[in-house]
Amino acid sequence: MRTFILDIIPKIKKYSEKLDKLTVLTNKHWVMIDDDIKKKIVFIFREKDNQLLISDNGRVEKGNWEYLGNNSLLIDRSDGSFLFKHGFVDDYVLALKVDGKEEYALLVNEQKFDSNLNSLPSVLAFLNQTYIEQKKNNSITIPESKNTISDRGFKSKRKVHYSESKESFSPNNFPRLDENIKLIREKLKDLNNDYLAEIVISFAKDHSIKGIWAKENPDVVDMVVNKRIPIGTLEQLFEKSKDNFEFREDLEINLIGAVKAIQHYLPQLKKGSAPSILLFSTVAAKLGMPYHASVAAAKSAVEGLTKSLGAELAPTVRVNAIAPTVTNTTLASKLLRNEKMQENIIDRHPLKKILSADEVANMANFLISDKAASISGQIFEMDCGIVSFKL
């Protein structure tokens, strides 16, 4: 795929749709921007079996695509597999960042391509006009002042100017804004000092408060403009509100979910005969695999829980865990969807096989049975050799 170094993409990324909203890919036909305007290469991301159709001036190549999570998109073509990261996407433009490089593959909605958005200059002009020039007009603007700023604030008052927004304000564009404002209001109750003007600039720049919203909330604007919030406090509040959704979700499901289940059933378990708790981890916790940071962190916590809880509940309740590699289940169907991908996975494992669900079930059945009465606090890696061996 033709790639470009595009300085504009990092500047407008905050206005982008999320890549995990897969309909932005599948509901459109995407045409790759190329230096050769006579070529028309169309990418069609189909939901069915994650099939990818690539039409090069009418000649069709079939491939596959997969969203891997963590803003990562894998594209399988006849000439190889390519990993892209989220750059920018809206209804008209899709910019995919080449993993490990500051380069982007640039694609345009076919309907827009066939009208006028069919060259690199036209795409750059469109993005600049839509997301840089227009957003400047729709945001709070703080005019430059020739007055110097002292530690106690401005020597003269500044005015905040508003410009009417050409489109209605949507809270979806600023999902953390209301939460931040509530936190700031709480902090303001205990703050009476003067602070530097950088608060205003940082607040307006980083959170892009549109003119209409600001006009409807003059009390908040006054709080910020009159420097009643310290920079440190503001930064701390925004730091706490950063969205780490995947990490929180994986921890909630794997660690907190396990803890809540154990807490609920533990009184009954202790009354049982030879009770046992079995948790599940993954080889990613030991192996170190790219794009598995959140799940590996959560599962590592599960392994720690297994050992600590095993010691805490001994001798009454045994606690063990199984850490499987890729297993042939519906959950892994996207990774095993064609023969080529299956061969790649088999080749990575020293035992040259794919782990089956029956094998994991048999191990689980053994660990909760009386046959494993002397085993507790152990992590059993069903890894087909990928962790244990280096061949």
Pair (46, 69) in one structural domain: yes
Pair (209, 336) in one structural domain: no
For the chain, give the mean pLDDT.
Answer: 76
Q: Do the Cβ atoms of 221 and 186 come closer than 8 Å? A: no
The tokens for 111 are 């309907």
Residue the block writes with tokens 């489109």 = 167
Pair (229, 249) in one structural domain: no
Pair (361, 280) in one structural domain: yes
| Between residues 103 and 239, the one the model is more confident about | 103
For residue 51, what is the domain's CATH number?
Answer: 2.40.128.640
Q: Whole-model pTM above 0.75?
A: no
DSSP, residue by residue, 67-85: EEETTEEEEEETTEEEEEE
**What's the pLDDT at 342?**
87
**What's the pLDDT at 241?**
43
In terms of Cα–Cα distance, which of 267, 279, 282, 280 is closest to 313? 267
Q: What is the mean pLDDT of residues 358-378?
A: 94
Pair (293, 360) in one structural domain: yes
**What's the pLDDT at 164?**
38
Count of structural domains, the chain: 3
Instruction: For residue 349, tell me if it sits in a domain.
Output: yes
C-alpha distances (whole Å) from 48 to each of 31, 307, 381 are 20, 42, 34
In terms of Cα–Cα distance, which of 177, 203, 196, 320 is closest to 258? 320
Highest mean pLDDT among 67-71, 180-184, 241-245: 67-71
**Model confidence at 116: pLDDT above 70:** yes
Give the pLDDT confidence of 140-169 residue by residue, as tens digits: 333 333 333 333 333 333 333 333 333 443
pLDDT above 70 covers what percent of the chain? Answer: 69
The tokens for 11 are 């500047």
Pair (269, 335) in one structural domain: yes
